Structure formats: C-alpha cells, structure tokens
A and B are shown apart, each in its own frame.
Chain A
Amino acid sequence: MTAMNASTLRIRDTALRVARAGQGQPLLFLHGPGGLAESQAWLPALAEHYDCHAPEHPGYGGAAVPAWLDNVRDLANFYLDYLDQQKLRGVHLVGYDLGGWIAAELAVRNSHALASLTLISAQGIHVPDVPATDVFLRTDDDLVRDTYHDPALAARVLERAPTEEELDVAVRNKEVTARLTWQPRGHDPDLAKWLHRIAVPTLVVWGANDRILPAEYGRAWRDRIARATLAEMGDCGHAPHLERPAETLAALTRFTASTGSPA
C-alpha cells in the first residue's frame, strides 16, 4: 500500500491540508461530513492507481472555519481555485456524500479541468417522496449503524473509543456540516436545474441498502446527468468505498479507463 503524504498548501488566503500519494492520472477525492479521517482507509488503494489528492475541506479536521465559507457553492469555487493553482488537468473528480455534492457543483460550474466525475452516495439533490434519514436527529453512534449495511462492520467501527481530541473534531465537523447542509436539508434547489452542464462522463456509485440516502437517489443522479452510469453495490449501505472498497475501486478504475486518455 502507498502511504499518504500530508502537506499544507495555501489557496489564496486559506490553509488547506492535502494528503497526497501515487502516480498516474490525477484524482481529486472530496470527503464527506465525517472529515477526511472517515475515508482515510480507502486512500492508499486509490494511490495505487492514481496521483491521488485528498484535501481536508476548510473548517474540517479542527481547522478554523474561513470567513468566506457559508455554503457548498463556496467550496466548489474554492476547489476550482485549487485545480487552477495546482495546474491540474484531466482530473478524475471523486466525491463522497457532501464531497459528491461539492464535486457536482464544481462540475456544473466548470468541467474543463476534469476527465471524469464520480459521485459516491452524494448529497445535493432532493428526490420527492423518498424518505431520507434526518442525520441531525441521530446520535453519532446511530449514524455509524445507519451508514453500514453489515452490522458487524458498524460494531467494529464503534468498538474503537475515540480520543478527547477526536471527539472535539467530530463536534466541529458536525457544526460545519450543519452550516453547509442544514437548510434546505442536504440539497440546493438550484443545483438540479443545471446538472446538464456536467460535460464529462460520470459514474454514480450507490449502496443498494443505503438507509441514509436510499438507492432512488443514485438513480435520480444518473437520470439527471447526461453521460452517467450507475454502479449499484449489493449488500452495501451508505459508504460503498468503505464497505465494498475493492468493488468500488474496481468500478472506478474500469470507468476511468473507459473514459479515454486524459486531456
């Protein structure tokens, strides 16, 4: 496995911690509401195949919330700045949950630096009459149980007693997540209107047994984006890249290989 190297960059006046490793086509991974730590276990596998960039969103992981950060659109513009500053082209953009929402907002704005888009259990749109979990009324432990289809996997995650510092970071992560996603809950009514602007091949990855955002959401993303395919993972909850890491990686590498050589 490839170890990730962490460094801190400045994007305009904002400090950004980025975990980076691997060679090949560039891949930008955008994490979910649990912070980068939650998805950390999957990153070395990505780095086996790609030049993997995994930033921790401003305001997450204990970092101060920048004065400019009010909504998900702000983060989409921020990561466009990141792509510009790093002079990245032909990027495979991958986002999980909140990170998927940021990725979709980014791709709607400007797909020029992208080779492809992958949305894993992405927030960002509203599907009428499909009951989703109100994550803000669940306890942290309940949320872990909601995330995984396999109760044994959830139990293993819950076994680990977090440190005081990790608990503080979790509280702060949740606070930024509320700032970004509380109202309208988990979506932006303006985003769905412009999804046709996503000009790159798109892979939507969803757990068939997702209890937080049910699989109808995955189908809705696929139906709204022009060049999208859906990989639905059986026996899998809200975090396919953690519950079915090998299958999710295989789906991703097959997909990016099929998108042709990068620009």
Chain B
Amino acid sequence: MKFFNFHLMPYRHADLEAIQKNGSAWVTFSNRHYDPQLGAELYHEYLDQMEYADQLGFDGVCLNEHHQTAYGLMPIPGVLAGALARSVKRARIAVLGRALPLLNNPLMVAEEFAMLDNLTRGRFIAGFVRGIGAEYHAMGINPAESQARFAEAHDLIVRAWTQPGPFSYTGKHYQFNYVNPWPRPYQDPHPPIWVPSQGSSSTIRWAAGLRYTYCQTLSPIATVKKFFDMYREEARKAGYEAGRDQLAWSNCIYVAETDERAMAEAKPHLEALMTRLLKMPMEMLLPPGYTNIEAMKRIKSTRAVGAKPQSVEDLVKSGLVIIGSPATVREKLAEYEDLAGFGTTLTKTQFGTMPDGMVRANMQAIAQEIIPHFKDAA
C-alpha cells in the first residue's frame, strides 16, 4: 500500500466559538478572523510537515483546494506544490484540486500542472474535482453549469497535454483559437489523473471508464467499500479489472502508545474538524443544480440523520478514521484494506486544531510502526 500525507492546511487557530456562531467556517465566516502573522507561521509549519513526510518515507504528499474558508488555506494549491517541488526530494506530489468548473480559463491549469510535472521530473499527480457546493457561492460560478464545465475543461486540458499544438478549441463554455501550451508535461502521455469524489455514481462511472484513480473522501469504511465496489463493477463493464492502484481512500490516522492515549489526544482536534470546520448549511453544501435530484435527496437525508454531532467514538467505530496504538491501527488498516480493497491511503496526519508537536509524533509513529507493515510485495 502507498501512504500519502494529505494536508488540508486548516487555519488551526480559528475561533471555534465564532465559527459556531456564524454557522459555518465557509464563505460567510469573516476573514477578519485570519491573522496574517499566525497564518504565515502555519504555512511554514505545514510545508515543513510535508517535507518531513518525504524524509520519513511517505510515498507522496497531497494538497487540496478550497476557497474562502478556515477549513483549509489552499485556494491556489499550485503555489504550495511549487514551494515543495524542490524540497520534497523523493515523494510524489499530488494536487487534489483543481476544481475545474471554477476556472474561467482551464488552459492555465494545463500550464500549471505541466510546469509542476517538469519541476518534479515526473513526480506530479494531477487531481481534477468539481469543488464542493460552497465553492460556487465563493467563486460566483453557476452550479447548474458545473458538470458541463467540468467535462469540457477536462477534455480541453487532456487534449492540450496530448495533442500537438497549436490547435483550436470551440466548446460551449470555453473557446480558444490557439491551444499550444509550453511546457508539455514531463510524464508521457501526461501526469496520472486522480479524481476525488464524495461518491457520485456518474463520477465513479466516468473515472472507471478512463482508468483514472478514484479517491473516496472522508466516509465510513462500509461506504468506501460500496463505492470502490461500484468502481470495480464499472471497470468490468468497461472490459477490464480495476487494480488496487486505481483506488485511494482519504482518512485520518492518529497513533499513540495506547488506544486510550491516542483517543484522548486526537479527540479535541477531530471534533474541531468534524463539528466546526466541516460544518455548513445545506444551501451552501448543495447549491441548486450542483448534483442531480436523486443524489441531492440522498445527501439531504443522510445529513438529516447525522444532524446530531457524531462522537469521536462513533467516527472510529464506523471506520471513518483510525485512532489507537500501533497494533490497533495496523489491525484496523489491514482489515479495511481487505474489506474495501484500495492501494493508496490518503492520510491526514494533521487534522482540525492539532499542533505541530503532536502531528510530527504522529507522522513518526506512522512511518515507523505502520508503513513498514504494508510495504507492497516487490
């Protein structure tokens, strides 16, 4: 199994009471709450953690993209990928962004990702997402056009990477007389494409059809299994057997000496993530047209059921996160790997308000006690 250190880069000094009062850490939570002195320190703290992951032997580091939120400070993940391209010496660098429908010019992502692929000499992984609903409020993009813009931007970028330029492109949402980006990607034909989703069946079918790696966002392990099974089934319909390297699970892992200690240490930080930083009203999460009516009803009903905050114990029990002693974490991870069948774990070693010392101890424990037990057979 491959271990990626996945960072959200939360503004971990956020005033949790103020978030609670506002109802969300997204879009309407005033940036008056952002202190640039503390924020600058955080960027360096988090980038240092990513470099540490590389030194510890993680297979990759993973950035993501969200806008106008204390949940994560990476509106432009390419800036941070650029900062890491020369200091992360060995591990792969994945950007899971970019949110393609938010772009008014997708060619700029074709350029940015090709640059990163060259800078890392082919260690780059290109993520394509639609962005969550809040992004459509934040960036003034019509959610009813989200799927069509995603499809068109994706086609344009892949063609820009693979078809010799210059050529012209005339779509409904994007039109260019000249598509001819310099540089071209380092990897041939282009960087691997990873597609994170909350479990949209149309996204899963599409990703399986194109053999893109599907990344399941934070979900109970039974749900993860269900969506990975769906991917394998779609792959069979497309006439091939999906490999484990095509499936990645996004989770949080925290390791300490004992189960009790791990729970006590991780708990407040996981609670900050789940009950404050992730929280948003339904109107923000699911703007009209962002998803089809059936998916919208399904998400609304699951959210309504989960309206009372889940305890950390429940999150652990449902296999949304893994927290415990090295033996417990090894056992759970092996169990989930057998159950859901994935080849990559996208692990948040920092989550919520967790301070640097705890994060580094956690990363070290994962590197020493967990990763060696899951080395892929040569």
Assess A138 versus B140: contact at CB under 8 Å? Given A171-B293, A174-B288, A178-B289.
no
Q: Are B144 and A179 within 8 A (Cβ)?
A: yes
Q: Kindly identify, within residues 254 to 287 of chain B, every residue whose CB is under 8 Å from any CB belonging to chain A.
A: 281-284, 287
Assess A178 versus B284: contact at CB under 8 Å? Given A136-B137, A168-B293, A171-B293.
no
A175 within 8 A of B: yes
**Contact of A179 (CB < 8 Å), options: B28, B142, B283, B296:** B142
Q: Are A175 and B283 within 8 A (Cβ)?
A: no
Residues of A within 8 A of B137 (CB): 136-137
Q: Kindly identify, within residues 151 to 168 of chain A, every residue whose CB is under 8 Å from any CB belonging to chain B.
A: 168
Q: How far is the CB of A168 from chain B (nearest CB, A)?
A: 6
Q: Tell me the complex Cα distance, A172–B291, Å.
A: 11
Q: Kindly identify, within residues 331 to 372 of chain B, every residue whose CB is under 8 Å from any CB belonging to chain A.
A: none
Q: How far is the CB of B67 from chain A (nearest CB, A)?
A: 15
Q: How far is the CB of A58 from chain B (nearest CB, A)?
A: 15
Residues of B within 8 A of A182 (CB): 136, 142-144, 287
Residues of B within 8 A of A168 (CB): 293
Q: Tell me the complex Cα distance, A168–B300, Å.
A: 13
A139 within 8 A of B: yes
Q: Are A137 and B142 within 8 A (Cβ)?
A: no
Q: Are B283 and A139 within 8 A (Cβ)?
A: yes
Q: Tell me the complex Cα distance, A138–B287, Å.
A: 11
Assess A178 versus B283: contact at CB under 8 Å? Given A168-B293, A171-B296.
no
Is chain A's interface secondary structure helix, strand, loop, or mixed overall?
helix
Q: What is the size, in residues, of chain B's interface with A at 8 Å between Cβ atoms?
A: 18
A-B contacts, CB under 8 A, total: 45
B144 nearest in chain A by CB position: A179
A147 within 8 A of B: no
Q: Are A178 and B143 within 8 A (Cβ)?
A: yes
B315 within 8 A of A: no
A177 within 8 A of B: yes
Q: How far is the CB of A218 from chain B (nearest CB, A)?
A: 26
Contact with A along B135-163 (1 / 0, CB 8 A): 01100111111000000000000000000
Residues of A within 8 A of B143 (CB): 178, 182
Q: Are A183 and B142 within 8 A (Cβ)?
A: yes
Residues of B within 8 A of A139 (CB): 281-283
Assess A137 versus B141: contact at CB under 8 Å? Given A171-B296, A178-B289.
no
Q: Tell me the complex Cα distance, A168–B292, Å.
A: 11
Q: Are B287 and A183 within 8 A (Cβ)?
A: no
Q: Are A178 and B287 within 8 A (Cβ)?
A: yes
**Contact of A137 (CB < 8 Å), options: B140, B145, B281:** B281
**Contact of B288 (CB < 8 Å), options: A138, A177, A183, A185:** A177
Q: How far is the CB of A35 from chain B (nearest CB, A)?
A: 13
Residues of A within 8 A of B28 (CB): 137
Q: Tell me the complex Cα distance, A175–B296, Å.
A: 11
Q: How far is the CB of A132 from chain B (nearest CB, A)?
A: 15
A185 nearest in chain B by CB position: B140
Assess A179 versus B282: contact at CB under 8 Å? Given A136-B287, A171-B296, A174-B288.
no
Contact with B along A184-224 (1 / 0, CB 8 A): 11000000000000000000000000000000000000000
Q: Are A136 and B293 within 8 A (Cβ)?
A: no
Q: Are A136 and B283 within 8 A (Cβ)?
A: yes
Q: Tell me the complex Cα distance, A49–B288, Å.
A: 37
Residues of B within 8 A of A179 (CB): 142, 144-145, 289
Residues of A within 8 A of B145 (CB): 179
Q: How far is the CB of B282 from chain A (nearest CB, A)?
A: 7
Residues of A within 8 A of B141 (CB): 183
Q: Which residues of A contact B (CB under 8 A)?
A: 136-139, 168, 171-172, 174-179, 182-185
Can you report 21 A-B residue pairs in the complex whose CB atoms are below 8 A from each other? A136-B137, A136-B283, A136-B288, A137-B28, A137-B284, A138-B283, A139-B282, A171-B288, A172-B293, A174-B288, A175-B288, A175-B289, A176-B144, A178-B143, A178-B288, A179-B144, A182-B136, A182-B144, A182-B287, A183-B141, A183-B142
List 9 extra interface pairs beyond A136-B288, A178-B287, CB under 8 A: A136-B137, A137-B281, A168-B293, A175-B144, A175-B288, A178-B142, A178-B288, A182-B143, A185-B140
Q: Which residues of B contact A (CB under 8 A)?
A: 28, 136-137, 140-145, 281-284, 287-289, 293, 296
* 4 tightest A-B CB contacts, nearest first: A179-B144, A178-B288, A174-B288, A175-B289
